[in-house]
Structures are given as structure tokens and as C-alpha cells.
Amino acid sequence: MKHLSTAPKLTTQRLVMRGPKQSDLAEFTRFMTSAPSMKAQGETITPEQAWFGFLISIGHWHWHWHGFGFFTLEEKQTGQPVGRVGLIKHSDWPDVELAWHLFEGAEGKGFATEAAMAVKQWARDDLGRDKLYSYIDVENARSQAVAKRLGAVTDGTRAPHEPEAEVWIHAMED
């Protein structure tokens, strides 16, 4: 199936990280509309909103816009999509966010940390980024744990675009 972006292909020990494909929409929609992790955070959306969100993430990749976006994570062993990790910056956000979403059944296996480390290196080496941010809900202990494993620290402030989210800062050391 045809890729919908100019995303590079990154690989880690267990993952292939690629740009979105049209076939990814169904799993993304299912996750965004009904995943227990999304329900627990009160963040489920409608299928129509998921469609728009999917298209917005594709638009991020256009080199005239940002030149970055979400990578779809495929487990090498199975070829199945297990989540998304990447860089995003919506119009009302102060800075570029390093963000991750794992699909049901993929949590707790280290995929988010493994993929986010690869994205941080790519952002530093290929995009010249010297800092990234993650906006993590104060109740989301799992994402906070990922951020800590990535070396991020919170400054205790809240994200201006998401009052329930703390700002986590990722230094881009070698």
C-alpha cells in the first residue's frame, strides 16, 4: 500500500518505523474511538474526528509545513502496527512535541521508549533539534514513566493548550 508522506524509514531492534499508510486508518480509528486507555483519560473521539486527526498527522510530514510527524510502529516479528510515535506541532502549541500512542496489547513492552529514543536521535541528527517537549496528562503515570526513561524532566508547568498536561523537557544530548 502506498505511503502517504515523505517520512523516512527508521528501524530499531524490534520495530520498523514508517510513515502512515491508508490502511493504518482503521486501527487508528479503533484506537482513538474505543481503546480503554483513551476511555480512561476521557479522550475518545468520533470516527469523523479520527479521520481528521489522521489527515492532520499526514499533513505534518509535508516538507513545506513541518517535515516531521507520527511514525507508524510495526513490530518486526509480526509486521503488525503497534502504535505511533513522532513529532507534532499544532498551530496553537508553543513547541514541538515528542508524543507516543500504543495500541491495545502493545503497552508494557518497551515499544514507546524504544521508538521515542530513535525519534529523538533522528530529530537531533537529521532535523537539528536541540530540545523537544512532551505534554503529558498529570494522571498518566505510564507516559510519565516513558518520559523519565527517555531522560525528560518536568518543569512543573502546565501546557498552555492543555491545562491537564505537564510540560516535560527532553534535552538532546549525544
Residue 83 has pLDDT above 60, yes or no: yes
Prediction pTM value: 0.82
The full set of domains in the chain, from first to last, is 10-171 (3.40.630.30)
User: How confident is the prediction for the chain on average, in pLDDT?
Assistant: 86
Residues 17-36 pLDDT 10s: 998 888 878 887 877 787 67
In this model, does residue 1 exceed pLDDT 60?
no
Residue 53 has pLDDT above 80, yes or no: no
E-assigned strands of the chain?
10-11, 15-18, 70-75, 81-88, 97-102, 131-137, 153-159, 162-171
pLDDT (tens digit per residue) in 97-144: 999 989 888 899 999 999 999 999 999 999 999 999 999 999 999 999
Q: Which phi-psi region, left, alpha or beta, contains residue 45 (left: φ > 0; alpha: ψ -120 to 50)?
A: beta
